[in-house]
Amino acid sequence: MPVLTTTEIMELIPNRYPILYMDYVEEMVPDESIMAVKNVTINEQYFQGHFPGNPVMPGVLIIESLAQAASILILSSPQFKGKTAYMTGINDAKFKKMVVPGDVLKLHVTFGKVRENMGSVLVTAKVDGKVATSAELMFVVAPDEKENE
């Protein structure tokens, strides 16, 4: 049973179809870690061109999926609730396994360092328990626009 459904995810982050790359959150320990799930299907728009006859999920979209899961974790933290998180950097990205239609992509995120409105998260995307992608993502949380008025 999901901890957060797609509808609940959309209440936390601004991403919508066709650029919402997760189906539900399976586990979450606030201010610590999250595990979200993306069911990869042949119906994804990007498979029309990446690559015809050999569909492979683009690495940049795996990173985006991980960033969205990280946003949920970050914005679930009381200090960042109701704000927007932006990715500011990617370190040590490694792509070890192709992700193809039919795969269930498990998006694992843990907090790294956090200071005021910025920090890092350690991310791993797995298929069948095997690492497909890993990286460290840096983020900044924008202040509320109302705070600046």
Residue 60's CB is within 10 A of a number of other CB atoms, namely 11
Tokens linked to 23:
């189906």
- Do 67 and 20 meet the contact criterion of CB atoms below 8 Å apart? no
Q: Of the listed 15, 50, 59, 112, which one is catalytic?
A: 50
CA distances from 103 to 57, 113, 135 (A): 10, 31, 20
Burial of 16 (0-12, 13-18, 19+ CB in 10 A): exposed
CA distances from 60 to 46, 50, 81 (A): 11, 12, 27
Tokens linked to 110:
């843990």
Active-site annotation holds for 50: yes
AA letter at 128: D
Catalytic positions, written as ranges: 50
